[in-house]
Structure 1
């Protein structure tokens, strides 16, 4: 009689429907979560496991059909399908195929190929290894090092490659693992090297998620991940991750909403309310650079490239288009998200506290990438939107932000000079009064300085 292997655990997502997985005798239990094929938990705040499974049963057939079309295209262009590193050259057909999604098994290689990764790598040969050595020697500044360490274990805590399931044993009753996952070590290396190579950016939140997703799909090739991060932050989204944050993309998006979705704009536009509200007279010069309040909910869309806001399969489809045709794809998908919530948004007045929550939650419900794709590309509600239009709106907001910063700097300098003048007068007054001192409060000094500025 065969010896028992241990206690039955039950079915897992990787086991066949009729198989049973047995635990070793020293293992008490495993914290089990239904996961997708990438290792992410199926359940999210907006989607149940049952909803995910119902959707994926249909979507899986779509992926298989698209994979066959890609295989036929690869064969037509004499491209190998055995771990390919070359794909059909860019044309309208390939762009249409990219928008409809890459085959999962080739996705990372296709991101690399169509974003020009190999060309950029040729210009930076040996850079990654040299910078990694410097990081190991402790040359990275302490601030960036600490920020990176803080965020490492906050990166994809719902993915098994970044945070393995907890295994409880008699010696480890809480199930916590002491061994650091390989993926976390690779993530640390990439983020440190990137921060070292980009002092004007350093490290900021959201870069950990971008690097993490690239590591998952580029088979933990750290150098290639570093190169793609360079392309994303310098070529596609310049300034979006800089220390002196200049996120012109959200401003550009708000202008596009006004132009392409006027009914949505009329509902979210609370600029007049802000400009006439309490305290609006304090900074009259900044009125020209104000945005609707809901813009804050959209900031992470660009900084994290929709990671953490859209469901993961939809994120991947956005990235397929984005890394093929650039930021134009991000703006089309952002407009499509607003379009999906048009009816909800129109029911709320611009000053409603519910409006922000509605906009924030809209992308989390976009489980089916094909529905969002149809709005962004197939149905053509944004038909003439091209990179030239986007760049012109980016340029407008860059100029506005620089103008606003210059005005704030002048105002701060004026207040400083006024305060210094008041303090000088105070000293002179003390001398005239035979050294008799009278303390002035900070509020009095600032008020006096402001009056002097007004007279000038």
Structure 2
């Protein structure tokens, strides 16, 4: 995808309005026939993606590059899927119709709606994703949306850092790779606007990846509104604060989950001195947008916007389950390289399986709350110990200063003592000389008297 896709907004129970994210095109109403056509096109795209993913899987198993293409293999895979295409297209049309009904009647929907949950877990249709994301996080009602243009006219203390990091955000993606491109300008604008809106957080490295994914699915102003909602309502703001206290809590909770659900892998990580923060920090900070291929990152955001932060824990465990056998064979260096290089392609093999696996992961809300309390207790104890440590360090510093002063005084006294001893020795020597001279004079006096007599 080299540009911003189209986005939709609801108007009534039977129609959808589609708007373009890049320009101000007039609104067009989609009839039921056109909606069915869009569903068919979407399903055809999905089938093509399925073929390509299956081909990549075959190539990886045979030792070839994932980027190479083999038309004969594509034809074989397509033939295998051709029998189910008609049924898939019918299901695709049904899914689009259901999504249309849900969107048009969104104000009457509840997040506890099982139909909505199942649809989100199967993946939001690409051309509806930007709009559904906004609805899931209630971005249309975001109070700061209307201030976006005002923020752009102001200056931010974070501008230099934001500009430096923009070039590192999806550098190989057509929408972002060119300097001064719409993608880079959009990234800068949204990050700058948020740094002005929330000066306490300002700009946090890594958040640009999340904003980049939003910009690929909606215009700047909408991306700003969604990002603001994510920060305020989905625990991300606490994650991005300078202390990153929330990130520490999430890492602690995930480590406890790994210890309980994957004890063998946990022990292996411990034996290699491979800490949870070494692989999971970016997962929480960027919601996997910097770690996984974009089409999987979209699925992650689908789940996150519906279920919240618990889905990041579930997906983390699912990835570790998926890669467990590989990870158990690796040392520290291999683990570092695996999570960076091989894990994304492993997840790309079957995204639906990964999502189904994460949904099945055991997640106990009560236990997570207890872990949060335990963490706070541990941190409070650490804080007390830190205060005590600082007090002891202060006392130690004062004692060191006192010792240094005493040593200085001792050195001065030693110098004085040595000088006194030298002086006394010199006086004794002078006294000896004087006595000797006096004896000589007395001898001379005695001799003089004898001569006079």
Q: Do both proteins adopt the same fold according to a TM-score greater than 0.5, normalized to the shorter chain?
A: yes
Aligned equivalent of 2:241: 242
| Counterpart selection for 1:306 from 263, 270, 288 | 288
Give the C-alpha shift of residue 160 in structure 1: 0.7
Q: Is the 8 A contact 1:67 1:102 kept in 2?
A: no
Give the C-alpha shift of residue 184 in structure 1: 1.4
- Quick one: distance in 2 between partners of 1:189 and 1:197? 12
Aligned equivalent of 2:176: 162
Q: How is 1:23-422 mapped onto 2 (pairs within 5 angstroms)?
A: 48-50=66-68, 67-74=92-99, 76=101, 79=104, 89-90=110-111, 91-119=113-141, 121=142, 123-124=143-144, 126-135=146-155, 140-141=156-157, 144-164=158-178, 180-218=180-218, 220-222=219-221, 224-238=222-236, 239-246=238-245, 247=247, 248-270=249-271, 293-347=275-329, 353-360=333-340, 361-367=342-348, 368-377=350-359, 380=360, 382-383=361-362, 385-422=363-400
Give the C-alpha shift of residue 413 in structure 1: 4.3
Q: Is the 8 A contact 1:321 1:329 kept in 2?
A: yes
Greater CA deviation, 261-270 or 69-78?
69-78
Q: Is the 8 A contact 1:293 1:356 kept in 2?
A: no
Q: Give the greater-gyration-radius structure (CA).
A: 2
Q: Is the 8 A contact 2:234 2:309 kept in 1?
A: yes
Q: Is the 8 A contact 1:337 1:363 kept in 2?
A: no
Give the C-alpha shift of residue 339 in structure 1: 0.6
Aligned equivalent of 2:438: none
* DSSP-derived class of the 1:373 partner: helix
TM-score by length of 2: 0.66
Q: Count the aligned residue pairs.
A: 347
- Quick one: distance in 1 between partners of 2:133 and 2:165? 25
Give the C-alpha shift of residue 217 in structure 1: 0.6
Cα 1:78–1:146 shift into 2, 3 Å: closer
Give the C-alpha shift of residue 434 in structure 1: 4.2
- Quick one: distance in 2 between partners of 1:86 and 1:186? 30
Cα 1:68–1:331 shift into 2, 3 Å: farther
Cα 1:49–1:263 shift into 2, 3 Å: same
- Quick one: distance in 2 between partners of 1:424 and 1:414? 15
* Residue ranges of structure 2 left out of the alignment (5+ in a row): 4-45, 416-453
* DSSP-derived class of the 2:216 partner: helix
- Quick one: distance in 2 between partners of 1:407 and 1:155? 40
TM-score by length of 1: 0.66
Cα 1:13–1:208 shift into 2, 3 Å: closer
Give the C-alpha shift of residue 295 in structure 1: 3.5
Q: Is the 8 A contact 2:327 2:335 kept in 1?
A: yes
Greater per-residue helix proportion? 2
Cα root mean square deviation, aligned: 3.8
Give the C-alpha shift of residue 106 in structure 1: 0.7
Q: Is the 8 A contact 2:2 2:173 kept in 1?
A: no
Q: Is the 8 A contact 2:323 2:346 kept in 1?
A: no
* Residue ranges of structure 1 left out of the alignment (5+ in a row): 1-11, 15-35, 165-178, 275-291, 438-456
Aligned equivalent of 1:18: none
In the TM superposition, what whole-angstrom CA distance separates every residue of 1:106-126 from its partner, at most 9, and x where no partner exists? 10110110112123x1x3353
- Quick one: distance in 2 between partners of 1:256 and 1:394? 13
Give the C-alpha shift of residue 198 in structure 1: 2.3
